[in-house]
Structure 1
Amino acid sequence: MTTLFFRFKRLTILTIILLIAAGLGAFFSLGRQEDPTLVERFGFIVTTYPGASAERIEALITEPIENAINELAEIDEMNSTSRANVSALFVSLREDLTETEVDQAWSLVRQQVDAVTPLLPAGAGAPDIQRQYVGAATMIVALSWDEYGDENVGILSRLGRDLERQLLNLSGTEETLVFGDVEEEIRVQVEPEALASLGLTVADLAALTASADSRSPGGRVRADNVNLTVEIDGAFDSIDRIRDIALAESPDGSFVRLGDIADVEKAYQDPPDSMALHNGQRSVFVAAYLQPDLRADLWALSADALVAEFATTVPGIQVETIFRQGDYVESRLNGLARNLGYSALIVFGVLFVMMGWRAAFIVGAALPFTVLSVMLMFRLYDEPLHQMSVTGLVVALGLLIDNAIVVVEEYRLLRSKGQTRLEALDGSIRILFAPLLASTMTTVFAFAPIALMPGAAGEFIGMIGISVIFAIISSFVIAMTLIGALAAWFDDPKAADGPKRFWRTGLNVPPLAWLYRGVLRTVIARPWIGVLGSILLPIAGFMAASTLPMQFFPPTDRDMFQVEMVLPSSASIEETRRYAERLRGVIESYDGVEQVSMTLGDSPPRTYYNVFGSESGVSSFAAGFVKTESAAATARILPQLQREVMTVFPEARILTLPYEQGPPVPAPIELIIVGPELGELNRLGNEIRGLLANTPSVTYTVAQLELGEPVARVMADEASAELAGLRLSQLAGQLRGDLDGVIGGSVLEGIEELPVRIIANDDSRSSLRSVSATPVGARGGDVLATPVAALGEVDLEPQVALIPHEEGLRVNKIFAYLDPFTLPSAALASFLESLEEADINLPPGYELQIGGEAEERGDAVGNLLGTAVPLIVLMIGSVVLAFNSFRYGFVILFVAFLSVGLAMFGVWLFGTPLGFNAIVGSMGLMGLAINGAIVVLSALKTDPAARALEAGAVEQSVTESTRHILSTTMTTIGGFMPLLLSGESFWLPFAAAMVGGVAGSAILALIFAPAAFVLLARGEIKRDELVARVKQRARERHGLLGAAK
């Protein structure tokens, strides 16, 4: 079996052809996206209760739903906010649940919510469960008015919904959303005085109007030969039909019709719930989301054609694609493909120098074969190509030829000793199968924690580990089969007798070889010098790690950035628009800004996988994204822009933020104060905010608990209300009808259904004075209408605006935002020092917790280490079984430990933060660092002369392994060089850890491992000598006893 592929050439050729065909087929059929798809573990439960205060929402809506949800074991985290009229719960499912289990968990959440819904108060809406899609829009299209004159947002809205339907019907589209559209309606504006003279309220009028909209069938006429449906003519089909609705009969016998007391017109919802602005123009955004695991580039071509055709049908409307994820997918994958190509060239160059051209081509063949195998495995695994999966290939590029190098070197060594091609191939495969399998498994176990890591961080970065594992396993199989056969087929029979040229046999520098042998002799003679010298760099790395700043994930290098603006809660949406226009002017004053797109009153379309918000219907909120000419322009603009907007808009909170990698976090620094009393929570929050505000790099601080929101309170006297014929709840309902309107029927225009809204006229809703003058009561005309002011004063009073909960407990979350590109760990450390000096004492029952990036980083690292520990045990176990020795297993374990220190030294040397990527690199490095040590120790352990410490035996054995140790080390470093030199903030810490560790691992393999072997061999020799002496004395004693007898 060891020479099967060499003896049967057709089998080898057919295997290569099949591998090429399957790999290329898989490559062209794989999906393509920028980032991995994350499981929908996050969601919101939104429940409305019109007219209820924040305290009532908390007690009657939020807490019952929280109690029901808390019964589920699948819930990982639950936060809620209770504000006037609305309860919003944020639910996060456990990170160890699979995608199938997540779907089942959401079904359980719905069951619990359905069970508690009947217990909610009358008037509360049904809870709306919204699973949060974690991913960016594939395409965002802006529709803007391109004609002179006033903008007609109604036409834009209808066209936007038409484009939305077309994109939704496009093959591969998951969902579509429209932003900034307005709802058209038939508005019936009535004077409250005229309505009161008829003894009606707005709600009564809406009921009358709805009853006039005849849409119900009147039954069926059934005869012997026909069945006919009976309908009542009179459904609303025009504005005139609505104006003609009869309301009451006048004394002269005529009828008072709706048009006599009200203005009826087609209008837009005013004020609108949300707006969209693109470069200052009122627009409508249409966002389309692609189904996961499909090719974004191919879908984008079809979508582009659809949008272009749509644009030709709407003259006077500017149709512009303002975001196209396909461009980023193409740029990201092309960049990684270039890195892959550069890595391959570097690796081949190293092989050429170290092993000669013939061996370089043989070993280099493992690269395309392995990459094709990995493509096939991706297809079987149903995983698309994205930055993590392709980066895993780049990472594995220098590793996957290690097995091939060792096989070719061992084959050449056996050939140099006079063996035939068949004997050399058989001998090399038999000798190397077990140690290479062990080293392969240790690498697999080293990257398995990354691949198996649960949670959002694992879903994001896990494909790096999976890609490496696929590549390493494939490379082992290919090295044991195809590479061995190719080495024997393309064997150079004159290699032993021909001249030693580096392009034939590899580079050989005698002075360096002489110096290296001298070092080896010193280490063999005095092994403790080798041990102590080898651990200097790892110890320095561990010491340097304590000085490195911490980071979760770095910002992404992107030609876009986010902008978010929050005004005082009383700001109208028109006021928010005026501020947004001023903000756009400030942003566009910077060179390199290409476009500014914002939504007002609603969260913007998602342009990055981890960006999502739950702001909806908040008129004081605006957010969006800014396109720049390059990632360098973004890095240049953001720091200065953030400081300028803080100066220009002191009354607003404006954040200009880079896009961040990793799972979403609400703010870089999050502090959670837990306690029962709102007043005390607010006081403590203000103290904490005061300390945070004085912390370096902090731009804004925000307390989630909001007290003191102004509310117009009618101080109605209950007795006076009774005299007016009203209960207080009826008074509230009547005012709500006047101010917000009541739906009374609908008009069908084509496929658009326009609601008929009955509402008081604008003059009656424009000020508190007009509200005070609103007539109430007079239901049925039995009691004269009474103005609201007669029932009590209308005053502005503060009330609780928002009550946050964490895991069902009242909390006050304090968020701190930082200057762009600032490390949160440094700011948090500075704050904690200030907190300790301030000596803030928390009352009994109150607790301060740390959330934000620090909490997410701790959870992610905990998940990684929790998965790593059992796999490290398996890794060492495989080594113990391969060597059949616990002592050699301990040496390998110590090498793995030292490699982490080497990784830390590399991170420190390149000046990068100690982020999650660096920790991931350190975990993967453990498997790589021990491979060289395994090869050296395996060669020494299988050499009887080396085990006996015969003169020159250890030196010779280590020297024979040195070339492929150095080759694998240099090829591994070469594979990482494009990532290291690219300067990308995301990959630099990872590459620094790997390169620093791999470079140092050669010292561990060639210095520490021989020194440890000599110490172990001396111990074995002494043990054997001791055993021999004991046995000799036993025999002598036995002989004396026999003679005495």
Structure 2
Amino acid sequence: MSTLFYRFPRLAGLALFLMVVAGIAALATMGRQEDPYLTERFGRVVTLYPGADAERVEALVSERLERVLLELAEVDQTTSVSRANISSVSFGIREDLNATEVEQAWTKIREQVASIQASLPGEAGLPRVVREYMGASSIIVALSWPEGSDASIGALGRLSRELEDRLRGLDATYRTELFGAPEEEIRVVLDPEAAAALGITASDVAALLARSDSRAPAGRLAGDDYDFIVEVEGAFDTLERVRAVTLSGREGRGFVRLGDIATVERARREPDATQAWFNGTRSVLVGAYVQPDRRVDNWGRQAERLVEQFRQATPGLDVDIVFSQSDYVEKRLYGLAINLGYSALIVFGVLFLMMGWRSALIVGSALPLTVLLVLFLINMYGQPLHQMSVTGLVVALGLLIDNAIVVVDDYRLLRRRGLERLAAVDKAVRTLFAPLLASTATTVFAFAPIALMPGSAGEFISMIGVSVIFAVTASFLLAFTIILSLAAWFDDKADTGDGPRPFWRDGLRSRPLAWAYRKLLDAVIAQPAIGMLLAVILPVTGFLAASTLPSQFFPPTERDMFEISVTLPSGVSMEETRRRTEAVTAMLREYEGVEDVGWVLGGSAPRVYYNMRRGQAGRPNYAAGWVRTISPAATRLITQDFQARAREAFPGTMVLATPFEQGPPTPAPIELKIVGPELAVLDTLGQDIRRVLAATPGVTYTQAQLLLGEPVARLSADEASAALAGLRLADVAGRVRADMDGVLGGTVVEGVEVLPVRVIGPADRREAAGNIAATPLPGQGRGAMSTVGALGAMTLVPQTASIIRLDGERANPVYGYLSPFVLPAPALESFFARLDASGIEMPPGYRLVIGGEAESQGEATADLMSTAIPLLILMIGSVVLAFNSFRYAGIVFTVGFLSVGLALFGVWLFGTPLGFNAIVGSMGLVGLSINGTIVVLSALRNSPEALLGDALAIRETVMDATRHIIATTLTTMGGFAPLLLDGDPFWLPFAAAVAGGVAGSAMLALIFAPAAFVMLVRFRGAGAQALPGPAPAS
């Protein structure tokens, strides 16, 4: 079996053909995305409760929903926000559940929410469960009228819904959504005095309209040869039909048509729930998402053709594609492919210099063959091609070539010793199979924690580990089958001489360097302790330098866009928010690198990056958007300068320019959660924390989520006066609310569009608190009528604006926002030092919890380590079984531990932060170091003379292994050179950890491992007399 592929060339040719075809087919058919798809583990329950203040919403809605959600074992955490008129309860599903279990959890959540609907207040709406999609939009289209056009925004909304329908019907579309689309309705503006004279209210009119809108079937007429549905004509289909509805006054006050006492018109609901603006023009944004397993580039081209057809069918309408994910996917994957290509060329060049042209071609063929095989395996695994799976290939670049180098170099060594081709192939397989299997297994176990990491973080990064595992496993199989067979087939006549050979044939060789290296090995063998000390200098330096490294677990990303948001004080109207965003846009336009500015007022912006936060609906004082620049470099320059200018130019307004980063979405870089029972105490503690946080270097803004003291217009109604008018206070509140917000009654159907009919008071009643006093209130008795002002005075009083609860407890989260590209870890450390100096302490029953990026980092690290211990045991077991010795395994894992120090040294040397990518790079370097050490120790154990302590045998055995160790080291450094030169902040920490420490890993394999072997031989007392005298170096 060891020579099967060599003896049967047709079998090898068939295997090669299948690998190439399978890899190319997989590349052509597998899905392509910029980022991995994340399971929808996060959601919220939104419940409207008109007329209720924040405290009432908390007590009657939010607390009950929290309680039933926390009863589910699948729900990990809840956060509720209670504001006037609305409750929003956010929740997360446990990270250790897989995709199937998550879907089952969503079913249980809906059932649990439905089970308490009957216990909620009658005035509250039905709770709505919303699933948060974790991913960027595949395409965003902006629709707007040209400047100077007199077309209505309502027509723009209808056209945007038509485009949304077309995109939804496109093959492979996952979902669609609109931003800034106006809500059209049939508005019945009631004359309050005329209605009061008839003794009817807006609620009475709405109820009558609902009964007049005849849509239900009146029965069925069935006979022997016919079967008909009976209907009553009268459904609302035109405005005139609504105007013609007859109203009757109370107690014989007469009959009138609705059109006589009200204006009936088609209009958009005011004020707008949200508005969208793109480049200073009122727009509607249409977003669409492609299914996770499909190619976003192919879908994107189809979507662009569809948008172009829609543009041609709607002359006079501006239709612009403002974001297309396919552009970023192609750019990202193309950039990675180019880097991979450059790396492969550098690797081939190094192999040519180290091993000669023939071996370079044979060993280099392992690169494309492994990549094709990995693409096939990824496709079979059911994953698309994205930056993380390609990252795994780049990570494996320095590892997958190692096996091929070792087997080819060992085969050539055996041929020089006089063995025939078949015998050399057979002996190479028998000698190297076990140690290379052990080294491959250790690499697999080293990356298995990433591949098996649970939760959202695991879903995002797991393909790095999976790709590395596929790559090193494929390279191991290829090395002992195809690569070794190619080496034998294309081998020339064995050269057993020691004369000079041209470098292009067998690689560079230097007698002076060989002589010096032999002298070094002689010294290490003679004094192994000194050799071990020399080898650990760099690792120890790396461990010491690690304490000075800044921490940034999730690296930033190079992108020609950044996120922008504006938050005004609570109670500000959307019109004021619009004026402020116009001023911010004008400041942004002062920068030459700014190309596009998009805003959504009153809610969250569409996702142009996968981890943009959502859940900001119903906030007229808030606006979010994005800015597109000419390049990632321009983004970096603009965000830093703009953030400093905006703080000075807009006092009292929080303007945030936030570069995009990797990692899960967080509300703020620094989040401090104060948990306790009393709102007043929470508010006081929050203000104290904010003062300390605001004084921390790097912090731009602070914000407490618990808001007390929002102004509210309150009617101090006299209950006795209301009773004399035949009213109760609840009746007064309901009638004022109907006059202000309107009451729905019936619908008008136009084609497939359904427009609600809303009965509402005149607009001037909603413009000032004083106008409310003039609102007439028809009483219950004949002729009884009063006004709101007659019942009491209208005053402005403070009221709790929002109440936050975390896992069933009241809390006051305090957010700290940082200047662009300022690291959160040093800022948080500085804050705690200032907090300790301030003397602020939490009272009994209150506690401070750390959230934000620190919490996300802790959760991701815990998930990464959750599988590390069992896999470490498996790794140790594989090495122990390969060597059948705990002592040799101890040497191997000592080298692995020291290589972590080398990785840290590389990170420190290149001045990059210590984060997730540096950890992944450290794992890659551990695998590389362990592989080299296993090869050296295996060669020493396979030499009987070396086991007896013969110094000459030990030296020459290490010399034989040196060429492929050096070749592996140089190919790894060369493979990562494009990433180091590119300077991408996402790749740089990873490349620095591997390439920066790989030279030291060669010292560990060639100096530390032989020295430890000599120490082990001396400790066992074997061949003690043979050690003193190595032969002179020649």
TM-score by length of 1: 0.96
Task: Kindly indicate whether the alpha-carbon contact (under 8 Å) linking 1:940 and 1:946 is maintained by their aligned counterparts in 2.
Answer: yes
Q: Which amino acid aligns with 2:522?
A: R
Q: Which amino acid aligns with 1:560?
A: M
Q: State how far apart, in whole Å, the 1-side matches of 2:250 and 2:1007 are.
A: 109
Match status 1:187 vs 2:208: no
Partner of 2:357: 357
Partner of 2:528: 527
Partner of 1:241: 241
Task: Kindly indicate whether the alpha-carbon contact (under 8 Å) linking 1:725 and 1:783 is maintained by their aligned counterparts in 2.
Answer: no
Task: Kindly indicate whether the alpha-carbon contact (under 8 Å) linking 1:250 and 1:256 is maintained by their aligned counterparts in 2.
Answer: no
**Deviation, structure 1 residue 923:** 2.7
Q: State how far apart, in whole Å, the 2-side matches of 1:916 and 1:843 are.
A: 37
Q: State how far apart, in whole Å, the 1-side matches of 2:615 and 2:430 are.
A: 62
Q: Which amino acid aligns with 1:69?
A: L
Q: Which amino acid aligns with 1:964?
A: H
Match status 1:128 vs 2:128: yes
Q: Which amino acid aligns with 2:375?
A: M
Partner of 1:540: 541
Alignment of structure 1 residues 409-448 onto 2, 5 Å: 409-448=409-448
Partner of 2:370: 370
Match status 1:566 vs 2:567: yes
Partner of 2:1007: 1007
Percentage of matched positions with identical amino acids: 58
Alignment of structure 1 residues 732-751 onto 2, 5 Å: 732-751=733-752
**Deviation, structure 1 residue 869:** 2.1
Alignment of structure 1 residues 297-316 onto 2, 5 Å: 297-316=297-316
Partner of 1:664: 665
**Deviation, structure 1 residue 530:** 0.9
Task: Kindly indicate whether the alpha-carbon contact (under 8 Å) linking 1:555 and 1:660 is maintained by their aligned counterparts in 2.
Answer: yes
Alignment of structure 1 residues 256-275 onto 2, 5 Å: 256-275=256-275
Q: State how far apart, in whole Å, the 1-side matches of 2:216 and 2:469 are.
A: 65
Moved more, 912-921 or 372-381: 912-921
Partner of 2:779: 778
**Deviation, structure 1 residue 248:** 2.4
Partner of 1:592: 593
Partner of 2:763: 762
- CA-based RMSD: 1.6
Partner of 1:1043: none
Q: 1:224 to 1:475 in 2, by over 3 A?
A: closer
Residue 841 of structure 1 aligns to a residue whose secondary structure is coil
Q: CA deviation digits over 1:833-878, x for unaligned, max 9?
A: 1001111122111111111111111121122223222212211211
Task: Kindly indicate whether the alpha-carbon contact (under 8 Å) linking 1:948 and 1:1021 is maintained by their aligned counterparts in 2.
Answer: no
**Deviation, structure 1 residue 18:** 1.1
**Deviation, structure 1 residue 220:** 3.0
Residue 97 of structure 1 aligns to a residue whose secondary structure is coil
Partner of 2:576: 575
Residue 399 of structure 1 aligns to a residue whose secondary structure is helix
Q: State how far apart, in whole Å, the 2-side matches of 1:35 and 1:902 are.
A: 30
TM-score by length of 2: 0.97
Q: 1:758 to 1:253 in 2, by over 3 A?
A: closer
Q: State how far apart, in whole Å, the 2-side matches of 1:249 and 1:708 are.
A: 43
Match status 1:117 vs 2:117: yes
Partner of 2:728: 727
Partner of 2:788: 788
Q: State how far apart, in whole Å, the 2-side matches of 1:287 and 1:783 are.
A: 55
Moved more, 228-237 or 825-834: 228-237
Partner of 2:613: 612
Partner of 1:216: 216
Q: Which amino acid aligns with 2:335?
A: G
Moved more, 151-160 or 934-943: 151-160
Q: State how far apart, in whole Å, the 2-side matches of 1:806 and 1:210 are.
A: 41
Q: State how far apart, in whole Å, the 2-side matches of 1:149 and 1:372 are.
A: 55
**Deviation, structure 1 residue 254:** 7.4
Partner of 2:517: 516
Q: 1:503 to 1:576 in 2, by over 3 A?
A: same
Q: State how far apart, in whole Å, the 2-side matches of 1:903 and 1:530 are.
A: 21
Q: CA deviation digits over 1:126-159, x for unaligned, max 9?
A: 2111111000000000011025243521111111
Partner of 2:886: 886
Q: State how far apart, in whole Å, the 1-side matches of 2:220 and 2:151 are.
A: 49
**Deviation, structure 1 residue 1024:** 9.8
Task: Kindly indicate whether the alpha-carbon contact (under 8 Å) linking 1:206 and 1:758 is maintained by their aligned counterparts in 2.
Answer: yes
**Deviation, structure 1 residue 494:** 5.1
**Deviation, structure 1 residue 213:** 1.8
Task: Kindly indicate whether the alpha-carbon contact (under 8 Å) linking 2:198 and 2:254 is maintained by their aligned counterparts in 1.
Answer: no
Task: Kindly indicate whether the alpha-carbon contact (under 8 Å) linking 1:213 and 1:745 is maintained by their aligned counterparts in 2.
Answer: yes
Task: Kindly indicate whether the alpha-carbon contact (under 8 Å) linking 2:399 and 2:927 is maintained by their aligned counterparts in 1.
Answer: no
Partner of 2:960: 960
Task: Kindly indicate whether the alpha-carbon contact (under 8 Å) linking 2:969 and 2:1002 is maintained by their aligned counterparts in 1.
Answer: yes
Q: State how far apart, in whole Å, the 1-side matches of 2:598 and 2:1011 are.
A: 64
**Deviation, structure 1 residue 495:** 3.6
Partner of 1:1036: none
Partner of 1:1040: none
Q: Which amino acid aligns with 1:769?
A: G
Task: Kindly indicate whether the alpha-carbon contact (under 8 Å) linking 2:451 and 2:464 is maintained by their aligned counterparts in 1.
Answer: yes
Residue 217 of structure 1 aligns to a residue whose secondary structure is coil
**Deviation, structure 1 residue 236:** 1.6
**Deviation, structure 1 residue 649:** 1.2
Task: Kindly indicate whether the alpha-carbon contact (under 8 Å) linking 1:36 and 1:460 is maintained by their aligned counterparts in 2.
Answer: yes
Alignment of structure 1 residues 903-922 onto 2, 5 Å: 903-922=903-922
Q: State how far apart, in whole Å, the 2-side matches of 1:255 and 1:776 are.
A: 20
Task: Kindly indicate whether the alpha-carbon contact (under 8 Å) linking 2:70 and 2:77 is maintained by their aligned counterparts in 1.
Answer: no
Match status 1:702 vs 2:689: no
**Deviation, structure 1 residue 237:** 2.0
Q: CA deviation digits over 1:108-128, x for unaligned, max 9?
A: 222222222222222222211
Residue 820 of structure 2 aligns to a residue whose secondary structure is coil
**Deviation, structure 1 residue 231:** 2.1
Q: State how far apart, in whole Å, the 1-side matches of 2:351 and 2:253 are.
A: 106
Residue 952 of structure 1 aligns to a residue whose secondary structure is helix
Q: State how far apart, in whole Å, the 2-side matches of 1:894 and 1:253 are.
A: 98
Partner of 2:971: 971
Partner of 2:1017: 1017
Match status 1:686 vs 2:696: no
Q: State how far apart, in whole Å, the 2-side matches of 1:36 and 1:67 are.
A: 33
Residue 664 of structure 2 aligns to a residue whose secondary structure is coil
Q: Which amino acid aligns with 1:462?
A: S
Partner of 1:482: 482
| Gapped regions of structure 1 (runs ≥ 5) | 1026-1045
Task: Kindly indicate whether the alpha-carbon contact (under 8 Å) linking 1:530 and 1:1007 is maintained by their aligned counterparts in 2.
Answer: yes
Partner of 2:100: 100
Q: CA deviation digits over 1:8-53, x for unaligned, max 9?
A: 1111111111111111111101100001111111111111211111
**Deviation, structure 1 residue 160:** 0.3
Q: 1:257 to 1:480 in 2, by over 3 A?
A: same
Partner of 2:463: 463
Partner of 1:9: 9
Q: State how far apart, in whole Å, the 1-side matches of 2:999 and 2:39 are.
A: 37
Q: Which amino acid aligns with 2:354?
A: M
Q: Which amino acid aligns with 2:752?
A: I
Q: Which amino acid aligns with 2:937?
A: L
Partner of 1:1030: none
Task: Kindly indicate whether the alpha-carbon contact (under 8 Å) linking 1:157 and 1:284 is maintained by their aligned counterparts in 2.
Answer: yes
Q: Which amino acid aligns with 1:366?
A: A
Partner of 1:145: 145
Q: Which amino acid aligns with 1:820?
A: P
Q: Which amino acid aligns with 2:733?
A: A
Partner of 1:381: 381
Task: Kindly indicate whether the alpha-carbon contact (under 8 Å) linking 2:613 and 2:667 is maintained by their aligned counterparts in 1.
Answer: no
Q: State how far apart, in whole Å, the 1-side matches of 2:92 and 2:638 are.
A: 35
**Deviation, structure 1 residue 777:** 3.7
Q: Which amino acid aligns with 1:642?
A: Q
Moved more, 837-846 or 902-911: 837-846
Q: CA deviation digits over 1:636-679, x for unaligned, max 9?
A: 10011011111111121111111111111110001111111111
Task: Kindly indicate whether the alpha-carbon contact (under 8 Å) linking 2:213 and 2:234 is maintained by their aligned counterparts in 1.
Answer: yes
Residue 218 of structure 2 aligns to a residue whose secondary structure is strand
Task: Kindly indicate whether the alpha-carbon contact (under 8 Å) linking 2:198 and 2:249 is maintained by their aligned counterparts in 1.
Answer: no
Q: State how far apart, in whole Å, the 1-side matches of 2:253 and 2:797 are.
A: 49
Q: State how far apart, in whole Å, the 1-side matches of 2:472 and 2:249 are.
A: 89
**Deviation, structure 1 residue 500:** 0.9
Partner of 2:326: 326
Partner of 1:1038: none
**Deviation, structure 1 residue 496:** 3.5
Q: State how far apart, in whole Å, the 2-side matches of 1:22 and 1:149 are.
A: 56
Task: Kindly indicate whether the alpha-carbon contact (under 8 Å) linking 1:179 and 1:285 is maintained by their aligned counterparts in 2.
Answer: yes
Partner of 2:995: 995
